[in-house]
């Protein structure tokens, strides 16, 4: 078994953190432009009860607001979110599962081989929801507004009290926590299970064909389980959220169904599937490399 990075001293531990941060930030630079376009129109489809095709929606958005304020609306917020996320995500994705695997009772790990991944997913989700909810709120507002406005003024509105402003930028927090927990536990669990099906030993690198298969198979359960929670989160955080922001989570799920039917839960799923495959195609080899370099011990 490889030596624990928690026992080899601060220098190697710091190196593991810096390595994962640098590689994580590089992954953002490679994937963000196309990732943003997918996310932009997926959010728009979720927010608008429209029958327009993706092509029509793209043309209408471009005609109404152009490239920067239309196609790339919310890009400044998105790049801030993604750079911040990737800065802390990759160290957490690699080191937290390792910590859980080394400190949980071995009988638990033997009975549930991916338990450490599920617990790590829930831990990351809770942390991420707390620190990024305001940025997600601003991004969603930018992506769904019909005309260019000052976002801070919109969120401040007529409630000239700091407490109301904080409450406003944390609108949808509960829905975001649920979405993130489901998303992270699904992603880390299925990524781990599927990648290790192809491995004879944890030190074995994946081929390009195996990476492609892993990316597709990881994307499918993510869409099935996460998309309904993502649609409800968008309903809370979009510009025209007056019908949702005071509802409880169960009421919001019912309201989405009443307004858009069952398909409302999966609005924009094609874009989300394409987005997740691109994300996974970039993340799977990075995750595999960093785990072999700094992560899980060399046993199953």
Please determine, for residue 230, whether its predicted confidence score (pLDDT) is greater than 60: yes
DSSP state letters, 132-188? HHHHHHHHHHHHH-SS---HHHHHHTT---HHHHHHHHTTTHHHHHHHHHHHHHHHH
The CA distances from residue 37 to 65, 264, 288, in Å, are: 15, 20, 26
90-109: per-residue pLDDT in tens? Answer: 888 888 988 888 888 888 88
Which region, left, alpha or beta, applies to residue 145 given φ > 0 means left and ψ of -120 to 50 means alpha? beta
- 79: Cα within 13 Å, side-chain hemisphere: 9
Dig out the tokens for 189 from the structure.
């669990």
> What is the distance between the alpha carbons of residues 98 and 4, in angstroms, rounded to a whole number?
8
What pLDDT shows up at residue 228?
93
Q: Is 216 helix (H, G, I), strand (E, B) or coil?
A: helix
The residue whose two tokens read 């937290």 is 96
Instruction: Look at 232 and 98; give whichever has higher pLDDT.
Output: 232
What pLDDT shows up at residue 68?
56
- Give the mean pLDDT of 211-220: 88
125-143: per-residue pLDDT in tens? Answer: 999 999 888 888 887 877 7
- Of 51-60, 228-237, 241-250, 253-262, the range with the lowest mean pLDDT is 51-60
What pLDDT shows up at residue 111?
84
6 alpha-carbon distance from chain centroid: 27
- Give the mean pLDDT of 222-242: 88
Contact 90, 23 (CB under 8 A): yes
> What is the distance between the alpha carbons of residues 155 and 146, in angstroms, rounded to a whole number?
15
Contact 232, 252 (CB under 8 A): yes
- The residues, any chain, with a CB within 8 Å of residue 84's CB and separated by 6 or more, are 131, 132, 135
Among the listed residues 128, 15, 147, 137, the one whose alpha carbon sits nearest the alpha carbon of residue 73? 147
Instruction: Look at 53 and 262; give whichever has higher pLDDT.
Output: 262
Please determine, for residue 265, whether its predicted confidence score (pLDDT) is greater than 70: yes
Q: Kindly report the pTM of this predicted structure.
A: 0.75
Among the listed residues 127, 144, 161, the one whose alpha carbon sits nearest the alpha carbon of residue 244? 144
């Amino acid at each position: 078994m490889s030596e624990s990075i928690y026992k080899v001293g601060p220098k190697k531990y710091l190196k593991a953190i810096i390595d994962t941060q640098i590689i994580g930030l590089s992954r953002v630079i490679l994937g963000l432009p196309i990732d943003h376009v997918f996310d932009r129109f997926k959010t728009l489809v979720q927010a608008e009860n429209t029958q327009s095709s993706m092509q029509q929606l793209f043309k209408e958005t471009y005609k109404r607001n152009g490239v920067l304020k239309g196609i790339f609306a919310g890009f400044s917020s998105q790049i801030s979110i993604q750079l911040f996320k990737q800065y802390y995500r990759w160290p957490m994705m690699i080191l937290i599962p390792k910590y859980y695997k080394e400190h949980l009772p071995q009988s638990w790990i033997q009975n549930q081989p991916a338990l450490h991944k599920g617990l790590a997913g829930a831990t990351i989700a809770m942390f991420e929801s707390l620190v990024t909810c305001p940025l997600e709120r601003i991004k969603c507002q930018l992506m769904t507004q019909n005309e260019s406005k000052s976002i801070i003024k919109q969120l401040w509105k007529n409630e000239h009290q700091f407490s109301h402003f904080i409450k406003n930028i944390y609108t949808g927090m509960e829905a975001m926590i649920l979405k993130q927990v489901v998303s992270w536990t699904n992603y880390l669990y299925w990524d781990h299970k599927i990648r290790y099906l192809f491995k004879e030993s944890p030190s074995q690198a994946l081929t390009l064909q195996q990476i492609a298969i892993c990316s597709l198979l990881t994307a499918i359960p993510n869409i099935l389980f996460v998309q309904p929670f993502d649609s409800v989160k968008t309903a809370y955080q979009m510009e025209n959220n007056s019908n949702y922001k005071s509802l409880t989570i169960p009421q919001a799920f019912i309201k989405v169904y009443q307004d858009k039917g069952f398909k409302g839960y999966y609005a924009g799923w094609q874009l989300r599937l394409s987005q997740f495959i691109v994300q996974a195609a970039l993340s799977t080899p990075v995750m595999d490399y960093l785990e072999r370099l700094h992560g899980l011990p060399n046993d199953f």
